[in-house]
Amino acid sequence: GRHSMLPRHVQRLGRDWIAHWNGSQIFASNSPVSNCMRWAGYCPWASFPLPVPVDFSANWRLSPFFGPWRQFQNSNWQLDNFVQSSCFHLPNPSMKSEGEEPLTKKRRLSGQHDTSTPEEETNFSNQKEALCLSVAQNEEKHSRKKGTVKRHWEYFCQHSRTMKIFENKETDQSNTENEAKFDFTVMSYNILSQNLLEDNSHLYKHCRQRLLIWTYRFPNILQEIKQLDADVLCLQEVQEDHYRTEIKSSLESLGYHCEYKMRTGRKPDGCAICFKTSKFSLISSNPVEFFRRDIPLLDRDNVGLVLLLQPRFHCKTNAAICIANTHLLYNPRRGDIKLTQLAMLLAEIANVAPQKDGTFCPIIICGDFNSVPGSPLYRFIKEGKLNYEGLAIGKVSGQEQFPRGQRILSIPIWPKKLGISQNCVYEIKQQQKEENAGENLEAAKADNTQEIVIASEKLSSKLQHHFKLSSVYSHYFPETGIPEVTTCHSRSAVTVDYIFYSAANDDTAAQPGAEDSFHGGLKLLGRLTLLTEKDLWTVNGLPNENNSSDHLPLLAEFRLIER
């Protein structure tokens, strides 16, 4: 016959409470029935009849069934359909709209069957505990449980003795074994400016709002910096007011000396390089502004910063290390600006890094380059050359699979009045070098001079730099070929952050083609592994409860090798 049914709004209440079917009992007879009744998952489109008395409040009236009665008759609805271990889950108690249907109803109509999971086969006492948990508490418990993804150190040298996380950093740098060696760690980290976060809120729709406020984010970022304990920090998107009021003082309390360069336009963020005063002393600090009022191409306010540091250890010669940090333009369709900004940074490094003997000191370049691995810009950094003839500006950074910027790069990319040659050095320095070595050319014949001019015209679409650079990261996991990820938000998950370094000849971690800087070099001892996009989405992407930037910190340990 006809049975009285629970109204639809009752069915939707309290997904987090569970009613357990126990043999012929629908509910335990020795406990009062919850005022939020469960409906059976085996008849997902209707509430089930109540063969036992139930104490409802006066406001809860049972209404006659108004659904498709023939479908109900044909559903073979009987007690035999229920098993002792079954648990019945109800929809979420927060009712989004009147027309929203229970999840199990959608499964039924789509041809899927409800099945009980091992987690549901628990005893009744555990279920009573579950009744006391609200939806918010369940979410918090779940996020704490899965709120972190482990990152581990990958070593390339068994004799690495200064990994900060695992070992005592008080190593004897002055003993005979390490007399000409100096181990140190470098971090590159885009910490996500609060101003940029709020201007680009569409990238963080997956995040809960409380995770996006600065007062929540900064303690997490500072804790991450403390834990990783790098000797050199290269930070991007450092907001000026936050740097002035709390970031600088917090880092100084940890033993860092901080150098900062703010962007030149309206955006109130910039780049910072901070180093442990116990490990380095500052030789020079050289900010680089990519904006040039007299050059229309350079109308963007990105900046760079180049430091020359002196290691604090006893050695035969005055060793130095050049550390550069930058954040290149984001716009995927302006590869011409990106390449010009990169050339300006390389020219400043070439101006800072030369030693007395004419060779370059070891160089480390960190930053957010807004370019993906394998792109023309990336290859130019690693290979030291790029023929950009016929190259579309939208393909320079590789950010877009189908770039919209189809305009071809002009030859040359930047005007001569920028004062930077196609070799990415300042023209004045280039002229001085040519004058020093140009006495032989003065004695050359006129026809030979003409051939040289013609050759230089043919090479005008070729960029070059003289640093032999390797990447700390390989950008793909060797076992699976899955890409590494350095940034992950609602729109994308890619690698755009890098640590490049000049490798020593005996550096087994360096990529093929890397050469010695001819004045010692850097040996990569280890790196903090990156993650896959899948790994990051298990903790709801970035930012999340524990990682308060949309970028991951990159971290590597180097050994300075003197010759």
| Per-residue model confidence (pLDDT) at position 405 | 64
pLDDT digits (tens, 9 = 90+) for 460-515: 899 999 999 999 999 999 999 999 999 999 999 999 999 999 998 877 677 544 44
CA–CA distances in Å: residue 500 to residues 235, 465, 536: 15, 14, 24
pLDDT digits (tens, 9 = 90+) for 32-67: 444 433 343 333 444 344 444 444 444 444 444 444
| Per-residue model confidence (pLDDT) at position 194 | 98
| Per-residue model confidence (pLDDT) at position 509 | 72
59 in a domain, yes or no?
no
Q: Which residues contact 46 (CB under 8 A, 6 or more apart)?
A: 5, 39, 65, 67, 72
Residues 542-553 as b/e (b if ≥16 CB within 10 A, e otherwise) read bbbbebbbbbbb
83 in a domain, yes or no?
no
Does the pLDDT value for residue 542 go beyond 70? yes
Does the pLDDT value for residue 254 go beyond 60? yes
Average pLDDT of the residues in 179-202: 93
| Per-residue model confidence (pLDDT) at position 148 | 81
Helices assigned H by DSSP within 394-445: 427-436, 439-442
Total structural domains within the chain: 1
pLDDT band of residue 416 (cuts 50, 70, 90) is: very high
222 in a domain, yes or no?
yes
Above pLDDT 90, what percent of the chain?
Answer: 56
431 in a domain, yes or no?
no
pLDDT band of residue 81 (cuts 50, 70, 90) is: very low
245 in a domain, yes or no?
yes
| Per-residue model confidence (pLDDT) at position 449 | 47
Q: Which residues contact 137 (CB under 8 A, 6 or more apart)?
A: none
Cβ–Cβ under 8 Å, residues 22 and 84: yes
Cα distance between residue 3 and residue 451, in whole Å:
100
Task: Pick the closest to residue 304 from 324, 322, 320, 319 (CA basis).
Answer: 324
pLDDT digits (tens, 9 = 90+) for 263-321: 999 999 999 999 999 999 999 999 999 999 999 999 999 999 999 999 998 665 678 99
CATH at 266: 3.60.10.10
pLDDT digits (tens, 9 = 90+) for 99-153: 333 343 333 334 444 444 444 444 444 443 444 334 334 444 444 445 688 999 9
| Per-residue model confidence (pLDDT) at position 181 | 78
Outline where DSSP puts E strands in 413-561.
462-464, 469-471, 487-488, 493-494, 497-502, 521-528, 554-561
| Per-residue model confidence (pLDDT) at position 439 | 53
Domain of residue 490: give its range.
Answer: 182-426+461-505+516-562
255 in a domain, yes or no?
yes
Cα distance between residue 138 and residue 150, in whole Å:
23
Cα distance between residue 489 and residue 541, in whole Å:
6
Average pLDDT of the residues in 527-546: 97
Higher pLDDT, 182 or 233: 233
288 in a domain, yes or no?
yes
445 in a domain, yes or no?
no
Cβ–Cβ under 8 Å, residues 540 and 144: no
| Cis omega (within 30 of 0) for bond into 543 | yes
| Per-residue model confidence (pLDDT) at position 402 | 87
- The label of the residue with tokens 């996991």 reads 477
Q: What is the overall mean pLDDT for the chain? A: 76
